[in-house]
Amino acid sequence: MRVAFYERIFLSLSALVLVAFLVALFFASFALNIHLPSPAGHVEPGRLAQTPPFDRPGLRQTGPGQYEVVMIGQIWSFLPNEVRVPTGATVTFVATSRDVVHGLHVDRTNVNLMLIPGQVARARTTFRERGEYLFLCHEYCGVGHHLMYGRVIVE
Ligand code: CUA
C-alpha cells in the first residue's frame, strides 16, 4: 500500500497530538495529582437540622482573617443569604442541599459548586476587594430558581 506524502504528514501529526494529550493526562493525574473534585463529606439531607455543622448555618470566624460559611441550598433560597466579612478575608464555603440539586456560584470568585442532596461541597476564596458579591443558584431547580440568590458583603 502506498501512502501519499501529505497523508503521511497528517497521520503523523494526528498520532503526535494523541500522544501529547495522553502524556498531558498522565502528567496531570500522577505528577501534579490533579483529580476530579470529590465530595467533602456526606450527610442525610432530611436530618440537616440535627447534623453539625448544618444545624447552625451561618458565618463563623476560624482564625485571624479566616472564616467559614456553613450554607444550605433549598427551594428557593440560600441559608444564610447574606454574609458580611472584612476586606481580605479568606472564606471557606461548606454547603449542601436540603432537597434537590442546586448550584452555588459566587460572582468574581473561584467558588462554583454543585449542591447535591447528601453530599457536602467545599470551596475557599479570598475577598481582596470590598464591595458586594452576588451569589446565585446555577442549576435549574424549579419555578423559583431565579429567586435563589444572595450576597457576600465585603466591608
Ligand atoms: Cu436552586 Cu436553581
- The tens digit of pLDDT for each residue in 109-140 reads 999 999 999 999 999 999 999 999 999 999 99
Task: Tell me how far the alpha carbon of residue 71 lies from the centroid of ligand 1, in angstroms.
Answer: 14
Which residues approach ligand 1 with their CB closer than 6 A? 73, 76, 102, 137, 139-141, 145, 148
pLDDT bracket for residue 15 (50, 70, 90): very high
**pLDDT above 90 as % of the chain:** 87
pLDDT in tens, 75-91: 999 999 999 999 999 99
pTM of the model: 0.78
Q: Which strands make up the sheet holding 102-106, listed edge to edge?
A: 82-85, 149-154, 131-136, 102-106, 112-115
